Every structure is written in C-alpha cells, then in structure tokens.
C-alpha cells in the first residue's frame, strides 16, 4: 500500500508539470517579466514609428535630385544699399533756356523728410504790377523788361539765390522746382518778392535769404515795373 501512495504522488507531480508546460497559470514572477518585456517592445516600436513619420528616410533620394537655384554673381546681390551722402544739383533761373548751369553740392539721403516737409508752398509778398496813372501832358517812355533783359539779369546775378537754395536744404535730399517771383521797379531794383518751395526750405530760411540775394540782380531800368518769375531746379 505505501508503494501505491508514492506512485499516486509521483503522478500528481507529473500532472502539475504538464499543466504548467501546456499553458496553465504561470508563476507571478514569470508574468511580471512578460509584462515589462512587452512594454519595452511597444516603446521601441513606437519610437521607430515616430522616426519614420518625421524623418521619412526614404525621401533622401528625392532631395538629391532637386534642381539647384542659380544666383547671379553680382556685387549687390542680397545686399540692401544704405542711404548716404550724394551729389545734388540746383540751377536754372530763366525761362526759354536762360538761367545758369546746375551747380553740384552734397546732400545726405539719410535725413528723413515727411510729406509735409516736401509740400510746396508760396511764402512772401503779394507780387503784382502797380496801377498805372495816365498823364496826358507827360511823355510815357516806360516799358517793361523784355525777355533778353530778364534772362541776362538772372544769368549774371542768380548765384546768390542758388546759394540760398543750397543752404536751405540743410543737407537733406530734395527734388523740386523752386520758383522766385519778383516785382522789378522802373529803376531795375527788386522790390516785393515771394518764393514757392518745399516747406522744408522755407523752415530753413529760404525766403529771408532770397530777399537779400535778389537785391543784387542787375536788371536795367526801363521806366516801368515788371513782374519777373524765375524757376530754379533742385534735384
């Protein structure tokens, strides 16, 4: 009888081993190893999937076949020119080809001007011919200046007015037509005067300077007043 018990016990141990090998319930420590192993494999697969989605290594060949963009080899390519000093010119003073040749001077394009600075304005006196009185008992030999006399007077004496325009720029870069209108008296002297110019020039003393300079214009006396308009080109 004791032999039978030993045989039965041995059979029980064999059955237990068979059950474990055939998929029965594994011990707790084996289940824990499987859990961590599965977690590591899942993390590795996730990282590989993220890399493939972001990097797309299979597109490497496409990148190498993209055409290159040619850039012209010029000194100014990709370079923004800085504003700086340049040569400006002012001249003129007479219509119909009269006046003086443009005189160069230096300006600084870095000086910023507003639209209000560039706006053209008339400033000065009201320039108009005085009313003429008719004296029947006196000879009236007076006449206004003719074109050649006007152009000759401006050509010979407009230098000081040009100097006034250059000084009134105060170094700023401007392009405009400056108009000086004068009332020349019967004796050839400039009386009233007004100037049309950018507000920037007026604010820097153009009118006062032009009044003083116009007094030296050498017009002949003709016995009658004349309104003279002299345009000067600033560029």
- Answer whether residue 67 shows pLDDT above 70: no
**Higher-scoring residue by pLDDT: 135, 79:** 135
* Mean pLDDT, residues 97-118: 83
**Higher-scoring residue by pLDDT: 33, 80:** 33
Q: What is the per-residue pLDDT across 114-132, written as a single tens digit (0 to 9) for each?
A: 999 999 999 999 999 998 7
Q: Which two tokens stand for residue 162?
A: 């040009």
The whole model's pTM is what? 0.60
Q: What is the per-residue pLDDT across 195-205, written as a single tens digit (0 to 9) for each?
A: 999 999 999 99
Rounded to the nearest integer, the mean pLDDT of the chain is: 77
Question: CA angle 5-8-13, nearest 5°?
Answer: 125
């Amino acid at each position: 009888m004791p032999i039978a018990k030993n045989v039965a016990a041995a059979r029980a141990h064999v059955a237990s081993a068979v059950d474990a090998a055939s998929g029965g319930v594994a011990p707790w420590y084996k289940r824990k190893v499987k859990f961590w192993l599965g977690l590591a494999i899942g993390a590795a697969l996730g990282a590989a999937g993220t890399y493939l989605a972001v990097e797309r290594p299979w597109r490497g060949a496409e990148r190498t076949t993209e055409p290159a963009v040619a850039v012209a080899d010029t000194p100014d390519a990709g370079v923004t020119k800085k504003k700086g000093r340049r040569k400006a010119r002012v001249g003129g003073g007479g219509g119909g080809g009269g006046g003086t040749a443009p005189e160069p001077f230096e300006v600084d394009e870095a000086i910023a001007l507003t639209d209000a600075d560039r706006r053209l304005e008339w400033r000065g006196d009201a320039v108009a011919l005085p009313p003429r009185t008719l004296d029947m008992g006196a000879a009236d030999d007076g006449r206004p200046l003719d074109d050649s006399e006007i152009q000759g007077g401006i050509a010979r004496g407009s230098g000081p007015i040009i100097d006034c325009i250059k000084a009134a720029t105060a170094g700023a870069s401007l392009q405009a037509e400056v108009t000086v209108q004068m009332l020349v008296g019967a004796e050839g002297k400039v009386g009233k005067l007004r100037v049309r110019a950018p507000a920037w020039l007026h604010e820097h003393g153009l009118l006062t300077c032009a009044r003083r300079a116009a007094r030296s214009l050498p017009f002949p006396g003709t016995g009658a007043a004349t309104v003279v308009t002299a345009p000067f080109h600033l560029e």
